Amino acid sequence: MGSSPQIDDPTPETIFRAMASGRAYIGEDHWSHFRTGTMSDRLRNFFNSASYMVAEMSGACQAGEAQAETIRRLEAQLKESEDHLLSG
């Protein structure tokens, strides 16, 4: 049995190509379900997983935007309080 390639910088393209070809990643056992079945099965699994990851990242971005808005609001309140203290 040959050794599995180690990918130092696993871009989506290199991950896709490896999964589609059936190659394994060293230490990446959670990708093993992408390397089973027909090419159609592997592509479907990859698409479903990628869609899930995009949805998770989108949720994280929305949470980050909400936090940024809260910070902007608090900074504005702080500035208003500072202005009030300096003027009075």
Those residues with Cβ within 8 angstroms of residue 4's Cβ, 6 or more apart along the chain or in another chain: 23, 24, 25, 26
Task: Delimit the domains of the chain by residue range.
Answer: 12-87
What's the confidence (pLDDT) of residue 39? Answer: 75
The model's pLDDT over 9-19, given as tens digits with 9 standing for 90+, comes to 567 776 666 66
For the whole model, what pTM was predicted? 0.37
Q: Give the residue, 16 or 70, on which the prediction is more confident.
A: 70
Helix residue ranges, H only, 1-88: 12-21, 39-87
The model's pLDDT over 35-69, given as tens digits with 9 standing for 90+, comes to 667 777 777 777 777 777 777 777 777 778 888 88
What sign does the dihedral 33-34-38-44 (CA atoms) show? positive
